[in-house]
Structure 1
Amino acid sequence: MRCPVPRGSGSPGAVPVDLDTRITVELSSVVAGARRRAHRDGDGQLDTAHLLHSLLESDPEVRAVFGDGGQAARVLGYLVQRSIGYGLRWHGTVEDSGAVPRVTPTGRGGWSPAAAAALEHAQARASGDGARPAHGVDLLAGLAADPECRAVEVLARAGVDAEELAGRLAEV
């Protein structure tokens, strides 16, 4: 199946060209949902909060990582608030925490450097397990690995310890 994410020439925060061969169809759908959310919110770039929102909405395996304590619902609550005011301070800014190395631009732009780095982390994590395609939990691990990204800020506001989450994901 072809990836629904358009490709083009290289630019900062770019998506790798071979995206469709390195992620599952389900994760490709998550990426497409995050891109639609960014566009609908009027954001110039897909960022880590868009990815987290799409992951929680679409991936039952990711929701299961949060357990039955209501953490996933609290995180989604903050993410919904983003589009009605919480995230307005992020509009017009580029998410680049610098905590995760920048990805070499090889695909289409429109991704924040932190979001592109999280996807690259997911792909590297998956290829470490025998070159399997990346899954949603791999991307969640990539998001949790960057303590300065917007997704981790949302997690913290919802009472989720991203460092502890990253530790649990290392065992998955």
Structure 2
Amino acid sequence: MEPRTVGRSAPDEGVPRAENDAGTGTGFASVIAGARRRAVRDGDRQIDSAHLLHSLLESDPEARAAVGTPTQLARLLGYLVQRSIGYGLRWQGGAEVIGAEVAAGGERWSPVAAAALRDAEARGTLRRGAHGGADGVDLLAALVTDLRSRAVEVLERAGIPAGELRDRLRARTADDAPPC
């Protein structure tokens, strides 16, 4: 039987970890730490994309601004808070329940959440070069790429069309890309 909370297991260097700024060289240590606390407090088996989304929105004003209107943001935060106190959305399965990646620190990550952190780093590198690193909007863009993710489910239920958000963020990435 699998433990109910984020467990400890053998390390896998391919998964982000907060001890090394998310294992990506970015400034996501506080976002990861917040996501970890949420997963443990919620009694979840692994850190998922909704944990990352909630923690990101708490800590990054640019990501909050990129989400949409103040009304949409308030509704989104409401869904995330309901989830964290045990009301609202109940997760039935999907892409984030199957499999888990284990970080060097031992926390278990959903494949979607781990991929989003790696994708955010790649986005930051594309936009700013090898020394630039990713920012919170890069992580937000990465969180909306998998339409089966819990982050996308929360966004959609809050009235924020994930496809539209993804397109807006994609346009921002193109605008910020360094010249060839």
TM over 0.5: yes
Work out the percentage of aligned pairs sharing the same amino acid: 50
Aligned to 2:114: 116
Counterparts in 2 of 1:123 and 1:44: CA distance versus 1, 3 Å: same
Q: Please identify the structure whose Cα radius of gyration is greater.
A: 2
Q: 4+ residue stretches of structure 1 with deviation over 6 A?
A: 102-106
Aligned to 2:48: 47
* Equivalent residue letter for 1:155: L
Structure 2 Cα separation of the partners of residues 67 and 113 of structure 1: 26
Structure 2 Cα separation of the partners of residues 143 and 118 of structure 1: 5
Structure 1 Cα separation of the partners of residues 119 and 47 of structure 2: 16
Aligned residue pair count? 159
Does the CA contact (< 8 Å) of 2:63 and 2:137 recur in 1? Answer: yes
Does the CA contact (< 8 Å) of 1:96 and 1:113 recur in 2? Answer: yes
Moved more, 27-36 or 148-157: 27-36
Moved more, 142-151 or 67-76: 67-76
Greater relative CO, 1 or 2 (CA 8 Å, sep 6+): 1
Following superposition of structure 1 onto structure 2, how do residues 1-172 of structure 1 map, counting pairs within 5 Å? 9-10=11-12, 14-15=15-16, 19-20=22-23, 22-24=25-27, 27-83=28-84, 84-90=86-92, 95-96=95-96, 107=104, 108-129=106-127, 130-131=129-130, 132-172=132-172
Structure 2 Cα separation of the partners of residues 61 and 44 of structure 1: 29
* Unmatched 5+ stretches in structure 2: 1-7, 173-180
Structure 2 Cα separation of the partners of residues 103 and 141 of structure 1: 22
Q: How large is the Cα RMSD of the aligned pairs?
A: 3.0
Does the CA contact (< 8 Å) of 2:10 and 2:102 recur in 1? Answer: no
Counterparts in 2 of 1:162 and 1:97: CA distance versus 1, 3 Å: farther
Structure 1 residue 10 displacement after superposition: 1.5
SS in 2 for 1:146: coil
Structure 2 Cα separation of the partners of residues 97 and 8 of structure 1: 19
Does the CA contact (< 8 Å) of 1:53 and 1:79 recur in 2? Answer: yes
Structure 2 Cα separation of the partners of residues 123 and 39 of structure 1: 25
